[in-house]
Amino acid sequence: MSTPKVVMRAPTGLLVWALPEAGELEIMWAGPGASLLIGMPRQPGGLVTSIDHPTASGTFATEREATAAVAAFIAAASEA
């Protein structure tokens, strides 16, 4: 499984990953203790919603945990 591509990194810990083959959809993590959100977080007025899938629901304490959840979510979507 390849590592998801980070397309934005903020000094506060916020990360945004691109979703391969999903157009403008991205996944955002606001930093330690936050959940993963899917939507268009980098667009003005872009909506996001929490991910409710066993591979990526919950909160994540570290960037490594969040990245692993994003990778698992992408892998599960690729299998569907």
Task: Tell me whether residue 71 is in a domain.
Answer: yes
Instruction: Decide if 26 contacts 7 (C-beta within 8 A).
Output: yes
Q: Give tens-digit pLDDT for 20-48.
A: 777 789 999 999 999 999 999 999 999 99
Tell me what the mean pLDDT of segment 62-66 comes to. 96
* Cα 52 from chain centre: 12
On whether residue 12 sits in a domain, the answer given is yes
Look at residue 44 and tell me if it is in a domain.
Answer: yes
Query: Is 1 among the domain residues?
Result: no
Beta-strand ranges (E) seen in 1-80 are 6-9, 15-18, 26-29, 34-39, 48-50, 59-60
For residue 37, being part of any structural domain is answered with yes
- 73 within some domain: yes
Residue span of the structural domain in which 25 resides: 6-79
> Which pTM was predicted?
0.90
- Looking at the structure of the chain, the number of domains it has is 1
